[in-house]
Every structure is written in C-alpha cells, then in structure tokens.
Amino acid sequence: MDLRDALAAILEEQGKTDWARQEFEAILAAGPPAPKTDPWRRTSGVHGLRSRRQLGMLRALWQARDDMARKRDVAPGRVLPDSAMVSAVQADPVNEGALLELPVFRGRANRRLVGIWFGALSRGRAVPEAELPLHSKPGEGPPPVNRWSDRDPAAATRLQTARAGLAEISEKHSVPVENILSPDLVRRIMWSPPEPREAATVAEALRAGGAREWQIELTRDVLTEAVTSA
C-alpha cells in the first residue's frame, strides 16, 4: 500500500494520473489474449531449419511435447528442451537407435519416451507436401523494417520521422517510447497511412489500433507530420 501511495503521488506530481487511469481501464476491458497462431514457431532455434519438411517435423515434435507437458502439468521445456527438438529434426534419425545417439535423448527419462519422439518425427516426415508449414506464417502487418528502404523508401522516411518525433515526446515526458505508443501500431500506420492524410484520420487509426486517448493526444500531430512528409 505504501508503494501504491508513493507511485500515485509521483503520477499526480507529473500530471499523469489520468494517463494511468486510462491504462488501468484498458487492461480491465481487454479480456484474455487471443490464442497465438502457430505457437511452435516460437521454438528457440527454429530459424536454423531450412526446409518446410524440417518445419513439419518440428511442428509434430512440438505438439507431442506440448501434449505430454499438459498431461504432466509442467513446463514444456522441462519435458524436452527446444534445442533437443531442433537437433533431432536436423539429424533426421532413421530409427529410434539413431535418435538415442543424440545427447539429450540419451538420458534415462527420454530413453523411455524415445518411441513418442521418434513417432512424432515420423509423422512430420509423412505430412503431404501441400500441408507442410510455410517458412514464415502469413501476416497482415508490414514487412520487417530492414526491408522498407528497398520495398518502399517513402515509408522508411515516414517511419524515421515518426520515431524521431516520438523520441522527443518520450524524453519530454519521461515515459519509455514503447509506452508512448505501441511500436507495432506506429509501423502499421507509417507503412499504410490513413487517407486522407490528416490529423483526424490519424487519430482514428490510432484509436482503431487500441491507443488510449492520452496517447492519441500526445502523438497525433507528430504522426500526422510523418505521414505527410513522404
């Protein structure tokens, strides 16, 4: 309670009490997050897999691990580390014995489970070509920022201008720039600016993207300047 009171006093002193109230209301109204699509893609080391067939094998292995973790009620990484799954896919063992030659799979726990792990790899090998996962999941958002200069130089200029303006706002109000406005939302607006490019449509785009009113008030003019700069 003492910490709560101290933070409340700081917010009041800095004129941010209403900002905090809007953030709390947004959290309360947000509800649970939507389930992640293709959660297996978050496997550490997945980028080392080069073919769609390897991705299909990893997906099957990840699903087998996830099922076992749920039954045991333990973290998936405690059942089988990400690195072991990626290594198994890369090794592409021809039988259970070959899989047991890999470091993690030599352990007593995984020796007992080798049939489950090899079965998952085999299922991944058997997936029809048309059903194999793509190298990257399809998305509606803009491409990676490092490709903007080649694909749309004007968008790259807009983003650079927006980031500079947001950095100034961040410093002025002593708020981390990622809290001033979601970086993903900034990228989306700079890549596909609303039409007509004016303050009102920028504010609508921000609101539609989940920005709170305090964020819109702070950033609308900076982003409007950015979208009209190129």
Claim to verify: residue 157 and residue 103 sit in the same structural domain:
no
Residue 137, pLDDT score: 64
Claim to verify: residue 76 and residue 121 sit in the same structural domain:
yes
d(CA 132, CA 59): 9
Claim to verify: residue 111 and residue 158 sit in the same structural domain:
no
8 domain residue, yes or no? no
Q: In the structure encoding, which two tokens stand for residue 54, read together?
A: 């390897």
Whether residue 229 contacts residue 157, with contact meaning beta carbons closer than 8 Å, is answered with: yes
d(CA 139, CA 33): 18
Instruction: Supply the pTM of this predicted model.
Output: 0.65
Residue 37, pLDDT score: 83
74 domain residue, yes or no? yes
Return the C-alpha torsion angle 13, 14, 15, 16, nearest 10.
-110
Claim to verify: residue 164 and residue 226 sit in the same structural domain:
yes
11 domain residue, yes or no? no
Residue 140, pLDDT score: 65
Residue 30, pLDDT score: 86
Residue 108, pLDDT score: 86
3 domain residue, yes or no? no
73 domain residue, yes or no? yes
Claim to verify: residue 124 and residue 148 sit in the same structural domain:
no
7 domain residue, yes or no? no
CATH of the domain at 68: 1.10.150.80
Q: What percentage of the chain has pLDDT greater than the value 90? A: 87
Our count of domains for the chain comes to 2
Burial class (CB in 10 A: 0-12, 13-18, 19+), 218: buried
45 domain residue, yes or no? yes
> Per-residue pLDDT for the chain (230 aa), expressed as one digit of tens each?
999 999 999 999 999 999 999 999 999 998 888 777 899 999 999 999 999 999 999 999 999 999 999 999 999 999 999 999 999 999 999 999 999 999 889 888 888 999 999 999 999 999 999 999 988 765 667 988 999 999 999 999 999 999 999 999 999 999 999 999 999 999 999 999 999 999 999 999 999 999 999 999 999 999 999 999 87
- Domain of 184 in residue numbering reads as 144-230
